[in-house]
Structures are given as C-alpha cells and as structure tokens.
Amino acid sequence: MIPITVVKIDPGVEALIAEVLSSGRLAQGPMVERFESLVAEMCGTRHAVAVSNGTVSLVAALQAAGIGPGDQVITSPFTFVASVNAILESGAEVRFADIDPVTFNMSPDALATRITDRTAAVMPVHLYGQAADMQSIMDVIGDRDLPVIEDAAQAHGAESGGRRVGSFGLGSFSFYATKNVSTGEGGAVTTDDDVIADRLRLLRNQGMRERYVYEVAGHNYRMTELQAAVGIPQLERLEEINATRRRNAAALTEGLASAPGIVTPAVREGATSVWHQYTIRVTSDSAVDRDAMVEGLEKAGVGCGVYYPRAAYDYDCYRSNPLVDAEPCPEAERAAHEVVSLPVHPYLSDNDIEKVCATVTELASGS
C-alpha cells in the first residue's frame, strides 16, 4: 500500500525531547520560544504565538481581531470544518464566498459579491498548500477596515505575489500530525502587529501577564515544550520538505498527462504551493466517476483521500444553525463531487509515483 501520508520523526527530535525532559519544564517555555522564532521566520512576520492546535489558533486570531457575537465573517465553503467551527466558537456568523474552480481557493470575485456592511472579517483558506490570491482579496476589501485572518493550516511557506502566507493579516497555522510541519497537535498565529501579538499572548494564558493579575478573560491555549521540540527540526528544513513535495507534484502531473478526464492541479501565476495535497478532478470524460476512482485506487493499493466530500455548509448541523448562511456555492459543490487527493508526501519513491500515475490512468481509461 502506498499511504496518502507518512509521518517520520526527524533525527534531531530525540535530542531536543531529552533536553526538555531533563529541564523538568514540560509546559510552555524556552523551546516554545525557539519554535515561535522559526514560525515567524517562515512567514517573515514580527511575531508568532504558538498555541495548542490549529483550530484554537483560528479562534484566538478571531478573538484578538475583536470578532464576536453580532459580527459576520466570510470564509471559503471548501475547507476543513475547523474554519467554520472557529468562527462559530467566536460567536460570529459564517458566510461563504465560492471558490475559484482552478485553485480551489476563495474567489476574489465571489468575495466581492458577498461582502456587505455587515462583514466584520474575511478568512481566506490556503487550501491544499496553495496560497489564495491575497493581492486580489486585499483589493476587494479595499479601504474597508476589515481584519483578515488567513487560514494557513495547510500552507507552511507558500507565497502569494512573492509574500509568505500568514503575513497579509493574522496568519493561522496547524501543526497537526499530517501537516507539512507536524507537532502531533499544534498551532500558531502570526502577525506584524505588536498590539495584536500582545493580546494573543494574554488570551493564551488566562488573560494574565503577571501571575494572578488578570487583564482580560482568557483561556489556556498554550503549546507544550514537547510539541515545540518535535516541530523545530522540521521548521529548520522546511524548504527541503517543500521542495521534495514540489518535485513529487511535478512528476505526478507529468505522469498523469494522458489520463482521460483527469484534471491535474494548477498553480496560479504569482502563487506558490507547498503541496500539502495533490488533488485531481475526476470529470465526466473519465471512464469512472470520483467514487469509483477512489474504490479502484484503494483496491490497487494506492492510498487517497477526498478533501472534502461536501461544501462546508452542506450538513444538517450547519443548515439548521441560524449563524450559518447556507446560500449555495456551486463551484464548491462541484469540486466536492470531483476531487481526490493522491500521495505527494516526501517519502514517495519513483516507483510509487509511477504506480500512482499508472493506476489513475488505467482507471480513467476504463482498462
């Protein structure tokens, strides 16, 4: 079986874990600070505030931006559910702007049709590792005073217009087990704004700067020293990790060139992708539909995944929620029927890539 993801622990991790264990300090401390410097460096921002996971980092970013009940936040309808849940957790309403069919990211034109006087923040998602069109999104926002929270959970090191994701507004990252950089569970918020960074650090630590002196009602959003130790060596070799994924993606695209009805992923001009996922569309010109493609791949020993099987609003629990605007987004719904992600992780061999491409091509050809 060629797995869709492989998690391997970097050689440097054991020494860092030993350092943490012998220090006797497991909760947030100097290792988390080292981790934060590397995350800030990855984004080119003044600050990175590490937290316990990527959902919490979205909630903390929304709170730090002053979003709460009565506000409306626009996000992508084609995302992991955490983007939606974080907005609801903040007490705000969720509205969706449909995706661009080529990049799967929020379409700036769709955003222009959904933005109103009630919009309080915009949350683009850099899906599958490709940077959303941040320059155009910022143009649509124009001189409205709206915070932008980038859900960069899947896009460590991706760029839009030569600028790193997470540096346009508040950036939110996940370091969940299967992400390009993983700490098992983990997250971080990035920002250039000193005041926002200070608020994030307060919120993360029960609202206190000094022990038992509470300045705001906060929470425990802290990351542990052990999580940080696992992530540091990966952040140090992030460029190498992403380059390997990029090479694998190029080989997959070349190998799938003759597969009928298969649309391989494209990177927008001016953007980069760090290839968290390599996601094809199985269109009606293929001999099999997406679900049969998934079945055939699994039978042949090729791991794959459907990210995501439905638009984010297309569940009873959200359709019945008065805080969720379920106005249809046809491109997200079409993508949900057509996408399948193939293995692109750094541990694929040339033979693995050949097998993935041959299997997809055979299935799509009906042979």
Residue nearest ligand PLP, Cβ-based? 54
CB of 308 to ligand PLP, least distance (A): 9
One residue of 49, 54, 167, 233 binding ligand PLP per CB under 6 A:
54
- Per the CB < 8 A criterion, the answer to whether 305 and 2 are in contact is no
Cα→Cα distances 93→44, 72, 74, 337, Å: 31, 5, 9, 26
Tell me if 59 contacts ligand PLP by CB under 6 A: no
Give all strands (DSSP E) within 218-338, no chain letters.
Answer: 262-263, 278-282
Number of H helices, E strands in the chain: 13, 14
CB of 180 to ligand PLP, least distance (A): 11
The two tokens of residue 51 are: 């937290």
For the packed helices 54-64 and 194-204, what is the interaxial angle rounded to 10 degrees? 120
> Which burial class, exposed, middle or buried, applies to 300 when counting CB atoms under 10 A from its CB (0-12, 13-18, 19+)?
middle
Q: How does 204-227 read in b/e, with b if 16+ C-beta sit within 10 Å?
A: bbbeeeeeeeeeeebbebbbbbbb
Q: Output the smallest distance, CB 55 to ligand PLP, in A.
A: 3
Residues 6+ apart with CB under 8 A from 107: 97, 98, 99, 100, 331
Nearer to ligand PLP, 157 or 296 (CB): 157
Angle (deg, nearest 10), helices 54-64 and 82-89: 40
Q: Per-residue contact track with ligand PLP, 232 to 271, x per CB under 6 A?
A: ----------------------------------------
From the list 127, 150, 118, the residue with the least C-alpha distance to 137 is 150
Options 36, 39, 43, 80; binder of ligand PLP; rule CB under 6 A: 80
In the complex, least distance from residue 220 CB atom to ligand PLP, rounded to whole angstroms: 15
Task: Give the per-residue contact string, 147-166, with ligand PLP (x = CB under 6 A; - = no).
Answer: ----x-xx------------
Does 357 bind ligand PLP (CB under 6 A)? Our answer is: no
Q: Using CB under 6 A, pick the residue from 28, 55, 191, 248 that binds ligand PLP.
A: 55
Question: In terms of CB distance, is 119 or 174 closer to ligand PLP?
Answer: 174
The least distance separating ligand PLP from the CB of residue 104, rounded to whole angstroms, comes to 11
Tell me which stretch binds ligand PLP (CB under 6 A): 3-11, 28-36, 80-88, 277-285. Answer: 80-88
d(C-alpha 275, C-alpha 39), whole Å: 18
Nearest Cα to Cα of residue 203 among 220, 189, 225: 220
- The CB-of-149 to ligand PLP minimum distance in angstroms stands at 11
Provide the sign of the torsion angle of the four alpha carbons 206, 208, 210, 212, taken in this order.
negative
> Which among 49-57, 193-201, 308-316, 352-360 is the span making contact with ligand PLP, rule CB under 6 A?
49-57
The encoded tokens of residue 260 equal: 């009928």
Q: Does 35 bind ligand PLP (CB under 6 A)?
A: no
Contact pattern from residue 92 through residue 131 relative to ligand PLP, giving x for each residue in contact according to CB under 6 A and a dash for the rest: ---------------------------------x------
Query: Shortest Cβ distance from residue 83 to ligand PLP (Å)?
Result: 5
By the rule CB under 6 A, 79 interacts with ligand PLP: yes
> Is 53 near ligand PLP (CB under 6 A)?
yes
Tokens describing residue 333:
């719904």
The answer to whether 191 touches 171, Cβ cutoff 8 Å, is yes
> Tokens 């001999």 label which residue?
287
Minimal distance, residue 90 CB to ligand PLP, in Å: 14
Q: Catalog residues that contact ligand PLP under the rule CB under 6 A.
A: 53-55, 79-80, 82-83, 125, 151, 153-154, 174, 176, 187
